[in-house]
Amino acid sequence: MRTSSLKLALESGWSTSPVIWAMTLPFLVFGSLLRSMDFYPSRTGALILVIGVSQLIVLAMLLLVRSQRRSGRPLESMSPAQVVVLWIGCGVTLSLVLHVGIESFVNSTNAPGIGLATRLLNLTAATVVCYLAFTYLADGVVRTQVEVRRLRRVNERILSSKRQSEGFVEAQSRLLAENLNTQVIPDLELLAEQAEALAAVAPTEELEALQSRVAYYSETIVRAMSRDISKVELSRMSDDREDEAPPGLSLRVLARMVMHSPVRLVPTAILLFVIVIQQMVPSCLSRAGLMWASVISAVAIGNLVAWGWSSAARREAFGRAGDLTGVGIALQYLLMIAALVWAAKTPRVACEWQGGLPELVIVIVIGLTGIMALSVALETSRSSAAQAVVLESKIRESEALAAELDRAGIRIRDQIAVTLHGSVQGRLTAIALAIVVYIEAVGRGASPDHRQLLQRVTELLDLALSDVRAIFGEEQAPVSIETRLEALQGQWTGLIDVTWGMSPRAAELLGADPDLADWTHEIVGEAVTNASRHGQARSIQIRLDADRETGTRIIITATDNGVGPPSAHRAGLGSSRVQSRGGSWTLEPGPHGSGSVMTVVLPTGQVECAKTDDFAGGGAWGGRM
């Protein structure tokens, strides 16, 4: 978040705003009045008239310049140097008009007064300092409000995104569960019932019909559904609300900021030095010094009291220190008023205060207003940075939470796609191949046990149903990769000879990373399924190793004795998913010109969910890995 700097304030529209002119008006008017009343005590009315006319001329100058700062005008973008020159011009104009007016209408007796050079120096310096202070204050207050509102708006959008993500996860879960319950599970149950109906007798024609239904369901329905499910995307509602109008200055906002802006000792000392010495009591420097010292002492005492309230012991006694901030600051200003009154009236200084009660009130108002403006400006710069840190931290937390919910929804989708495309389709492929092997054996005149075949078919269908139902069931304890590979080996017994081996380092990496183990099991199962279905292989060797260079990647090698890779293969669901996770894969002919060798390299570490379009494509692994 940007905080209001001096350069930004000077370049803003506040530097030529009539509001800033009005805010500086009491300082410059009463300051000029107090400095001139000592010389012309009987001409107060004429002095006020001349000072007022000079200020109206300056206002006309500011309005003229402001009209030229609009889009397409010569002064559309004024630099800080140009603004300072303008303010100096305003101070010079004030001094000249005031000097001419006093000499022409006030000083009728030609009494000695303030010289033109002194008036130019004092009034020009006071004009630049006042315009700079109030421009910095106004720009800081408004810019802080704008930036805080903007960050809060962003935070609201992030929270809205979080709610949408939560709704996405719930809606996606319901939708996917409904699809599984109405399509996948009933079809698998129907296949299981048809297989059980053949337990008594298994004519070849019935087995061929069952094999066709299993193959059709595996190749068409499951693959299409896994691909469709993987394409479900998270849609977000657009925020069509119009941007809020920029906030302005208000007495309520300023009052609240004053009561939460502690008075800083060093900046206040510098400001009071300028005000007291340059404008208020130049005829009595010793009393001016006493006023300065007494106010600074009041500020120091107030800061000590505020520090005591903020200590741990005081916090326990009075509650949170923040609750007493306003009270402490109010007491500080009361102390400063008392110090100014005492310093103006005490007889301890040789020269006397020449003004009456109205003049003293003017001095107090000007002094305290300047201190308030300076304190608010400094506190605005400090608090804006602190608020930005807090709000940006909340935004980062909300963004991280929303992103995690998005990933949760995608993981559900991913899990279903993997289960359908990997486990269910692999089991159905094994069923179809087992039936084909049985029919071929019968055709050769052999007498295979059809009950053993149907038992195997029924078991694989039950496992497929269990895989689907487990998606939305309670999370199970992770199963080791060795147990999974042994189960996969048993699933294909008699259909394709599956052998596997694993290095100790690979076992260590897979044991430490359940996501990587899931990935590896899916890839191995895919390799066996495709070697049997597409490559017509009778044996496949699986090897899991860690790369020798870094030991941080898993290398999966699958070598089969099938017909070899197709002449043209394209990247599909499995290969796209590997590449989307930073892995790589190759499919090459076997070492002796027959069979295929698939090599997949997977990086270790947490596996992130792939993007939606990574699931698009045709057959798994391009039809062959």
DSSP 533-566: HTS--SEEEEEEEE-TTTS-EEEEEEEE-SS---
pLDDT above 50 for 182: yes
Any residues with CB less than 8 A from the CB of 541 and at least 6 apart, and which? Answer: 499, 500, 501, 557, 558, 559, 560
pLDDT above 80 for 421: no
Task: Check: CB of residue 123 under 8 Å from CB of residue 93.
Answer: no
Q: Which range among 54-63, 108-117, 490-499 has the greatest average pLDDT? A: 54-63
* 271-280 confidence digits (pLDDT tens): 777 666 554 4
Number of other residues whose CB lies within 10 A of the CB of residue 429: 23
pLDDT above 80 for 468: no
- As given in the structure block, the two tokens for residue 80 are 């800080």
* 63-110 confidence digits (pLDDT tens): 999 888 887 777 778 888 999 999 999 999 999 998 888 888 877 667
Strands 497-502 and 539-546: parallel
514 vs 238, more confident: 514
**Mind listing the domains of the chain with CATH numbers?**
477-625 (3.30.565.10)
Average the pLDDT over 104-118 and give the result. 76
Task: Check: CB of residue 533 under 8 Å from CB of residue 215.
Answer: no
154 vs 375, more confident: 375
Task: Check: CB of residue 195 under 8 Å from CB of residue 457.
Answer: yes
Number of other residues whose CB lies within 10 A of the CB of residue 9: 22
Average the pLDDT over 314-326 and give the result. 51
Average pLDDT, the chain: 75
Coarse DSSP helix, strand, coil percentages of the chain, rounded to the nearest 5 percent: 70, 5, 25
Average the pLDDT over 473-481 and give the result. 70
Average the pLDDT over 148-161 and give the result. 72
CA atoms within 13 A on the CB side of 93: 18
pLDDT, position 550: 81
pLDDT above 60 for 563: yes
pLDDT above 90 for 501: yes
Task: Check: CB of residue 329 under 8 Å from CB of residue 259.
Answer: yes
Buried b / exposed e over 466-505, threshold 16 CB at 10 Å, is ebbeebeeeeeeeeebeebbeebbebbeebbebebebeeb
pLDDT tier, 7 (very low <50, low <70, confident <90, very high otherwise): confident
pLDDT above 90 for 541: yes
pLDDT above 50 for 243: no
pLDDT above 90 for 535: no
pLDDT above 50 for 545: yes
* DSSP H or E run through 8: helix 6-11
pLDDT, position 318: 47
d(CA 53, CA 30): 14
Average the pLDDT over 240-264 and give the result. 63
59 vs 402, more confident: 59
Q: What is the SS3 assignment for 586?
A: strand
Return the C-alpha torsion angle 206, 209, 210, 211, nearest 10: 120
d(CA 409, CA 170): 8
Q: What percent of the chain has pLDDT over 90?
A: 10
pLDDT above 70 for 247: no
pLDDT, position 415: 67
Q: Which range among 27-41, 155-169, 541-555 has the greatest average pLDDT? A: 541-555
pLDDT tier, 34 (very low <50, low <70, confident <90, very high otherwise): confident
pLDDT, position 558: 93
Comparing 7-21, 168-182, 441-455, the range with the smallest average pLDDT is 168-182
Alpha-carbon Rg for the chain in angstroms: 42
pLDDT above 60 for 452: yes
pLDDT tier, 614 (very low <50, low <70, confident <90, very high otherwise): very low
d(CA 439, CA 288): 115
Instruction: Report the side by side order of strands in the sheet with 596-603.
Output: 497-502, 539-546, 553-560, 596-603, 584-589
* DSSP H or E run through 254: helix 251-258
pLDDT, position 288: 73
Average the pLDDT over 348-376 and give the result. 72
Alpha helices in 68-79 (DSSP H): none
357 vs 547, more confident: 547
The angle that helices 18-37 and 357-418 make with each other, rounded to 10 degrees, is: 160
166 vs 430, more confident: 430
pLDDT tier, 610 (very low <50, low <70, confident <90, very high otherwise): very low
pLDDT tier, 624 (very low <50, low <70, confident <90, very high otherwise): very low
d(CA 295, CA 462): 89
CA separation (Å) from 564 to 392, 568, 597, 625?
56, 12, 8, 11
pLDDT tier, 231 (very low <50, low <70, confident <90, very high otherwise): low
Within the chain, what is the greatest distance between any pair of CA atoms?
A: 142
- As given in the structure block, the two tokens for residue 402 are 């929303």
Average the pLDDT over 294-320 and give the result. 67
Closest residue by Cα to residue 526 from 580, 585, 448:
585
pLDDT, position 185: 75
pLDDT, position 559: 93
pLDDT above 90 for 122: no
d(CA 86, CA 68): 13
Identify the bridge partners of residue 541 per DSSP, sorted by sequence position: 499, 559
Q: Which range among 177-191, 286-300, 595-609 has the greatest average pLDDT? A: 286-300
pLDDT tier, 194 (very low <50, low <70, confident <90, very high otherwise): confident
244 vs 261, more confident: 261
d(CA 41, CA 361): 18
pLDDT, position 400: 74
pLDDT above 70 for 15: yes
pLDDT above 50 for 286: yes
Any residues with CB less than 8 A from the CB of 73 and at least 6 apart, and which? Answer: 67
177 vs 186, more confident: 186
Closest residue by Cα to residue 107 from 52, 32, 54, 46:
46
d(CA 47, CA 343): 27
292 vs 504, more confident: 504
pLDDT tier, 8 (very low <50, low <70, confident <90, very high otherwise): confident
d(CA 418, CA 554): 20
pLDDT above 60 for 436: yes
Comparing 314-323, 416-425, 426-435, 558-567, the range with the smallest average pLDDT is 314-323
